[in-house]
Amino acid sequence: MAYLDLYSGPWTIAEANHLLRRTSFGCSQDTLNEALNLGLSGTISKLFEVNPMPEPPLKYEFDGDERDEVNDPDANYGETWVNAPAYPTLPTQQETNKAVRARNRSLYAWSFIQMQESGISIREKLTLFWHNHFVSVNTNPHREFYYINTLRENALGNFKELTKLITIDPNMLVYLSGNQNTNAAPNENYARELLELFTLGKGEAVGNGDYTNYTEDDIVAIAKILTGWRVKSLLDPDTLTPIFSNFNHTKGSKTLSHRFNNAVIEENGEDEYKDLIDIIFQQEECSKFIVRQFYKWFVNSEISDDIELNVIAPLANNLKANNYEIAPVLKTLLSSNHFFESTFCMIKSPIDLMLSVTKSLLFSGPTATIKEQYDYALVLYSACYDLNQDLFHHPDVAGWKAYYQSPLFYKSWVNSFLLPKRLDYCRIIVTGGDLVIDDITYTIPPLIPVLTIASKIENATDPNVLIKSLSKLLFNYEVSDEQVVSLKEFLIPGLPDFEWTVEYSEYLADNTNTTLVISVDKKLRSLISIMVQMSEFQIM
């Protein structure tokens, strides 16, 4: 049976869980049931549905003079700030900075809300993939939103066309110095990363300035091809539209090296960068390069010679045959025998981990007001930042180490410093408590509705059934009988099974009895808080 043959094994909660965890961010019992009813083919189709774009982020903090309030008169509470001037003009620099930072917080919280509410859809997971692939760090929320929106709009689309859009994206032009790239002083920053990190990879050094996939002379020539692009001042109303200055563009034809078959890029003004990208995407290595990135993101960090031959190469051929449309290739990979054999080999990223808790356990932060909703989403953002996955602020242009740094790869997410935090943050989401990040204390109430979760489990009066059902939801398989015995110590410490059966049955018969409600809630919360700290919950 070939690696990429359509998976023909059983379609159970384990397979649905595996697919949904890898392609989205955790899943609830209801989502799993929906996937089970849809079957593999139906779930894949739903994952790749093109849904309407989300409404933009909102201003969620109040205007005022208090220390914890902001003054941003260009945007009203509950409305988006995206249409306001990119750089608010306020009486003092301090007030301006405060308004900009408030918009930053809104964007970061909103991004977590999108992931939390994504349902059966691969778009948010792919948006995060492209965010880690086309790394672009900035501090202006408008440019950040424009950039991430470009990634989201094109997440399921065409790799070549997305590369063209990102090349002249204002956020990217500023981040990798394209904004400073002129005929008088060509800047090679973006040219180098375009080849090394975005499209081809460097390859092995085979000579002085000569690598498997390109040469240093190609960097020089490509920098000249890309000259002339500009980003207007933040004070300009049109600051989010890149502009081309023919005066600052290097004129004449540019010749690439033998690595590109000595291709000649003719003078073509503001469309010259497109001609360059078309040439890069003709290289055989380009399709293999991006397929390897997809493989590391969705399947496994280890790519053996066998995987290179039987998975990477045929998918790369498929990608090139489809003119770099990514959906057909990913559907093939995610529906394959090989994908469903590649389980328990990935340590969850901080974002995957935190959202596995919230989505699997029906987390519902306070939603009475927009401010409450955004405040709690910002707590998730802050926790992930503290666990070394800072959305919008990668450690460097290569992205998060877990997806490129050999031999650790995913193990980068856990060490003696990070692992205790990972476990503690998972616990606090279930039990409530104080979460301390950068000397700021966030007091989290117990927001996981443990009673509702238990109510969805048939025969939850049996503690063995309860624990095994929860393990199927939280892990990818049932726990062993020995583990069940150990876990019962957190549900009914030192007591026989019937004690739980009696108490839970009494609660079901009278859920208005406050004493019973508190007691059952406490026992369930104790059990689940331990389960989300188990090693089985850390992997997927």
> Exposure string (b/e) for 206-219, b if CB count within 10 Å is 16 or more?
eeeebbebbbeebb
Contacts of 2 (CB under 8 A, 6+ apart): 310, 337
CA 447 from centroid of its chain's CA atoms:
23
Mean pLDDT, all residues of the chain: 94
- So what's the pLDDT on residue 65? 56
Contact 206, 224 (CB under 8 A): no
> Average pLDDT, stretch 120-134?
98
pLDDT for 297-311, tens place per residue? Answer: 999 999 999 999 999
> Average pLDDT, stretch 183-206?
96
Structure tokens at 396: 């460097």
pLDDT for 66-119, tens place per residue? Answer: 656 678 888 999 999 999 999 998 989 998 999 999 999 999 999 999 999 999
Contacts of 537 (CB under 8 A, 6+ apart): 356, 426, 474, 475, 531
- What does the radius of gyration of the chain's CA atoms come to, in whole angstroms? 26
> Average pLDDT, stretch 254-262?
97
Nearest to 127 by CA among 398, 322, 392: 392
Contact 441, 379 (CB under 8 A): no
pLDDT for 398-432, tens place per residue? Answer: 999 999 999 999 999 999 999 999 999 999 999 99
Structure tokens at 479: 């726990």
Contact 234, 86 (CB under 8 A): yes
| HSE of 494, CA atoms in CB hemisphere, 13 A | 0
Return the SS3 of 411. Answer: helix
Q: Of the ranges 22-31, 269-278, 347-356, which one carries the lowest mean pLDDT score?
A: 22-31
Contact 107, 142 (CB under 8 A): no
pLDDT-derived band at 64 (thresholds 50, 70, 90) equals confident
Contact 399, 130 (CB under 8 A): no
pLDDT-derived band at 482 (thresholds 50, 70, 90) equals very high
Output the DSSP codes for 477-513.
Answer: SPPPHHHHHHHHHHHSTT--HHHHHHHHHHHHH-TT-
Contacts of 232 (CB under 8 A, 6+ apart): 238, 239, 241, 243
Q: Of the ranges 277-281, 415-419, 439-443, 501-505, which one carries the lowest mean pLDDT score?
A: 439-443
Contact 312, 291 (CB under 8 A): yes
In whole angstroms, give the CA distance from residue 502 to residue 398. 56
Q: What is the dihedral of CA 288, 294, 299, 304, to 10 degrees?
A: 20
In whole angstroms, give the CA distance from residue 412 to residue 349. 9
Size of the chain, expressed as the number of residues it contains: 540
Q: What percent of the chain has pLDDT over 90?
A: 88
> Average pLDDT, stretch 40-60?
97
Does pLDDT of 27 surpass 90? no
- So what's the pLDDT on residue 438? 86
In whole angstroms, give the CA distance from residue 386 to residue 106. 18
Peptide bond into 54 cis (omega under 30): no
Does pLDDT of 379 surpass 60? yes
Structure tokens at 25: 């961010």
Does pLDDT of 366 surpass 80? no
Model pTM score: 0.96
pLDDT-derived band at 447 (thresholds 50, 70, 90) equals confident
In whole angstroms, give the CA distance from residue 159 to residue 171. 19
Distances (CA, A) of 437 to 381, 434, 440, 442: 11, 10, 5, 8
Nearest to 25 by CA among 129, 158, 141: 129
Output the DSSP codes for 158-211.
Answer: BHHHHHHHHHT-HHHHHHTTGGG--SSS---HHHHHIIIIIIS----EEETTEE
Does pLDDT of 362 surpass 90? no
In whole angstroms, give the CA distance from residue 370 to residue 341. 42
Structure tokens at 322: 């489809």
- So what's the pLDDT on residue 180? 95
pLDDT for 201-254, tens place per residue? Answer: 999 999 999 999 999 999 999 999 999 999 999 999 999 999 999 999 999 999
Contact 469, 462 (CB under 8 A): no
In whole angstroms, give the CA distance from residue 55 to residue 483. 45
- So what's the pLDDT on residue 69? 67
- So what's the pLDDT on residue 477? 78
Structure tokens at 426: 């998972």
Residue type, position 26, single letter: G
